[in-house]
Every structure is written in structure tokens, then in C-alpha cells.
Structure 1
């Protein structure tokens, strides 16, 4: 886990580009919030996670929690970081493997195999993306096919829900692993987002997304391709071959889970996490999710990104839109890591 969890600095994303830095690993916990061990362990604390979860998810922009880092917040960040790490450890990156580009484990056994059987979450959906590069030149062949990029899980353990103070839906993305993905990472030109948000009913049983107006939001081309490019996969629908995208996987599953837990909206959170490329995809998909929620009048659901070593995702208009939506982003970077400083958008 090394570099992901050393916490040398943290910043809250803002349109101005200002950063709030926190040397937390050697600092004492703030007495105004909690009294604990200060090392990410729960220990004996004057406040419990269930009482302050909204603050920890950024409802008040982590005011007073970063200088030094609140120990409960630190333990939560580590928890989400571990979920992001699962996406690396469970990915089958062996080019000679029959299951190359997929997850090594089924949804039912993933967290158990990764040593997280007691985390209280149940994996409900795998996320697949199209890496979009013809593979013969690079010894790989996955253009147009489903490549495993992460998972969606929901906290469904009563004891853990009580500890957290709410039901949490988590979306975890992995970072770059294959040659094709490195090539997409280098496509650092900005392109219009072309994401649609509002739903309109087109038939009795079908809703379509209304195309957005041109709001000036531009996204790094490679990241947007990962998120929106269609893939072909076999679904359990009579053997029919269907066309989907990572975006469809994420939005459809969140919509389904919100319907399942529609009576818990006051105590429900949606958390996105990822490392490097995964952090960029976490922010992009969280922004997309928050916009869709707002367009469909789910304004009060707290959507938060815990990102690790994220590169820049979009232009200034994108940063401003992120802030306008109410999306909360806590971004952790290592001081000497160049990835968070690229691409160099003007």
C-alpha cells in the first residue's frame, strides 16, 4: 500500500487551483474534534464515526479536520484506499491468462479473497470499460471488449451500518495496468464532455437522457474515452449480445441501488475512490452521478470522492461545475509525484 497511504499532503479541489496541505502523519489529533490514537486506528474517541459522518464525507468541506488530520477521517481515508487497492490486486493482468483483463474472482468472493470479508460491504456490480486501442501491435487484443476496471458495492451489514451512521454505496476504480491503457492516458487533449443529465420519459417504460447544452466543460480525451466508449459483452438476457459503456454500468447500478434503498435517503452516501487513472475516473464518474442526481431532484444525497494521486481531469469550467454541483473531492498526493501535475491544461 506504501505510496498510496503515506498521506504527505492533501488538497480539496477548488476552481482556483488552491491547495490545502496537511502534514498529518506526525501530527497530534485536533482536540476540537476527537481524541484518539492519531494513527488511523479507532481507539478511544470522544466522538464516534456515526455522529460525524457527514463532516467526514465533506459536507462542510472538511473544515477543521485537516490541520492536523482528524484520526477518524484518517481511518476512513485508509478504508476507502484499501477498497481502491482491491481493484489492482484482483485484476488479472497476465497476457497469457485465459481470463486476461478480467477480475480474478467473482463478485461474491472478491472482498473475502482480498482479506476484507469483515468490511461489511457486498459487491453488487463489476465495472467494465473499453480501452479502445487495437492490440495486435502491442501483443494485446481488447478493442471493443470488456476490460475490468472496478466494482460497485453497498454496505449491507447491520453492525457496520450502525458504526458508519448510514448506508454507504462505494464505487472503486483501478489505475493503469495495460499497454493500451497507458496509450489512452497519453491522449491529454481536452474534448467537450458530451454528457447528458436530465431524464425524460419517451415511452411508458423507458426514460432517455436529454443531451446537455454546451456548458464549456472539457475533459481529458483518454479519461472520457474510458468512461463513455461502448463495449460488447454477454449479458444474462437470453444470450443476447449487448452494447454498454462504463458510464452505463455505473449510472444504472446506482439508480437501481437508490431504488432499493429509497426509504433511507436521509442516511445514505455515495463514495467514489481510485488511484491514479482510477482517481481520475472516480472524479469524472462522481461528477456525472452528482449532476444526474441533481437533475432528478436528489439534491441532498452526499456524493464524495476520495482520490489518490489523481491527474488533472478537465478544464477550469469543469472545476467550477464540480463545485457548483456540490460534489465533495478530497485528493491525496505525494509531493514529488508528477502524475497529479499532468496534463498541463491551460
Structure 2
């Protein structure tokens, strides 16, 4: 039996080591060939690797990161912050068509048949007389007039200017308390045909307010100062809610004794014009020259003489059926 030497053992060990390395290399080659799509590993340091100039561009296989989100109504804001409400686009809301008015159109506070007129008699043909008293100066005749009307149980209609109502609020209250009717005679008693519509409105509505402030309502009766009127001025006061009331007879008592008038003259004029619906014009104040109050003085006798003719007495509300 041959004995192995040291050199032989070293050669055998080297041969085994070489075969082991060769087998390991073959195994690695087989493993790499079995995984053709594997990517190279990243740098262990985590640093980015710059591609070489000849390397093809690499398209990332993952989706880009989503944009940052904004608060919605379901998120809770931090303390002290106002929640951010989402913006919503709403469809336009159509405005409904206004319903057709079922209310009747405005009407005059007097019968339409009285429009455009300056009444000289009460319509209807009844045997009645309306005693009317204009007040634009002073109130000297008022006590006698109110006394005569009360004694005879007769109603009267008093056309007051706004100035008179402001100066004599106590007189207005006495007239109303006695059950008489108050009407409008303008604010300052100017002629109306020379006034523009705007000043007519100021005169009529100014007097109305002054009389209302004194405790009476003058609507809807108006008498033109001096009886001065035309179609335009009548239409203007109609449009302000008033019907124009003139007179059948003027007693002319306002002229006074200095003007050649007496109580007998006053009485005879009223009786001469007596007719169904007669409207009698008298005045409350005294004559500025002689201080006479002829209408107030003649009133008791006038009432007796009219009644003796079978007539009664009404206020102007008879025009409205009252």
C-alpha cells in the first residue's frame, strides 16, 4: 500500500476547492437566469443613484401622489377656526309671477256722479235745506249760530279754513260736540284759478291736516274761496278726494250794515231762493268795518220761515246718502 505524501494532499485539497468555486458560480448563473425581470437592488446607504448617460429612461410604475385635500363640512376645525363650508352650485330659483290683484280699484269717497261739479243744490228733489257757514275771518258769530241751531234742533255744515281751525281749536270742538258737520275751505282762502295744481294740493291738504289736528274731519266736502273755480280746479280737488259744494243763495250778510245789508235783507234772500235741496251760504265772522254779525242775528227767523214752508234741514252728508 502506497503512502500519501504531503504534496499529494495539498494538490487534492486545491482541486476540491476549485471544483467548489466552479459549482458555486454555475449555481449563481442558473439563479440569475431564472429571474430575468428582477431589478437591481438599491444602494444600501439610501442615497439616490444617478443613471448613466447611456441608460434608458425609467418610467415609474406607481401613480403620482394625490394633491393635498381641503377641509370639508365633515371635518372638525381647530379651536378658534371657522368651518370651511363647501361651495355648492344651486340651480336658479325663478321668481314667481305676482298674482293678479283681485282688489277693486280705488274709488272716490263720494258718488262718481258728483265729479266735475260744483254743486248748487242737493240732488234728489227732497224738500230739505242745507244751512252752511263759512269761517275764514273771526268767530264772532259762532256763539249765536250754535245757540240758534241748538234751540231749533237744526244741523249745520261749517266750512273752515285751516287758519281758522288753528286759531280757534275750541270753536272746532264746540261745532263737533254739537253734532254739526265740518268741511274744507282751503288753508288761507286764496283764489284757486290762479294756483298751479301743486299749490292747490297744499291748500286743500294743509287745511285738512289743520282741521284734523283740531279734532274734526273735513273730507269729502270742499268750498272754493270766493266761489272762484273752473274745470281744472274742480278736477284737482276731486283728485284729492273732495267734492266741490257751492251754494244756491248767498245771504250777503258778510257785507254788514255798512254795505247796505240788514237782517231782513238776509232773510228775504234765503226765502227767495227756497227750493228742494237749497244750499244756503252764510258767514260766521263779523264784518271787519262795522262788526255786525247779520247772518247769526237772522238765523232764528230764517229757520222758522223755512219750516213754515214745509221744509226740513240736513247736513251735506245727504249727498252721500247719509
TM range (shorter): under 0.3
Which structure has the higher relative contact order (CA within 8 Å, separation 6+)?
2
State the TM-score, normalizing by the size of structure 2: 0.26
TM-score, structure 1 normalization? 0.24
Larger radius of gyration: 2
